[in-house]
């Protein structure tokens, strides 16, 4: 069982590294100049669409300070967000993220995680999530 699992993980890693390089373009329908969509990431998965967004920050962002050492936690200048979009219900769910110390995914990864459970869909209520939904659903319509 462990051997089979390790083989599957290695096969996934090889496949992931063979995928096309990210193709970042400004997120359409978004006023913010800091958000970009990876056009090569948009992929229909059954009834949903997967899409990756990259958000850059002018200054380093931290997610609080360590309560013991007071050191900044997860200091980053960009974050790649992986979304799942349900075009029918017009909802989005966060699938995972990677925070980077530099802009445009540069430098070291400071924190990465994935939601392994069922997608927790919410109505696209802010400008960025509405633009994510519009980009994902336009691609889905174009491929029908």
The full set of domains in the chain, from first to last, is: 21-142 (2.40.128.710)
Q: How many helices (H) and strands (E) does the chain have?
A: 2, 8
Closest among 14, 88, 93, 16 to 50, alpha carbons compared: 93
pLDDT confidence tier of residue 110, bands split at 50, 70 and 90:
very high
Residues 32-54 have pLDDT tens digits of: 678 999 989 999 989 999 999 99
The owner of tokens 């995928």 is: 19
């Amino acid at each position: 069982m462990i051997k089979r699992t390790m083989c599957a993980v290695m096969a996934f890693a090889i496949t992931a590294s063979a995928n096309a390089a990210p193709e970042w373009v400004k997120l359409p329908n978004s006023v913010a100049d800091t958000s970009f969509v990876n056009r090569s990431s948009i992929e229909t998965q059954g009834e949903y669409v997967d899409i990756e967004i990259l958000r850059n920050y002018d200054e380093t962002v931290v997610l609080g300070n360590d309560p013991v050492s007071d050191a900044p936690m997860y200091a980053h200048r960009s974050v790649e967000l992986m979304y799942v979009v349900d075009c029918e219900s017009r909802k989005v769910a966060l699938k995972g993220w990677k925070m980077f110390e530099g802009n445009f995914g540069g430098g070291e990864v400071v924190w990465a995680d994935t939601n392994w459970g069922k997608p927790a869909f919410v109505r696209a209520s802010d400008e960025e999530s509405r633009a994510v939904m519009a980009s994902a659903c336009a691609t889905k319509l174009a491929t029908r």
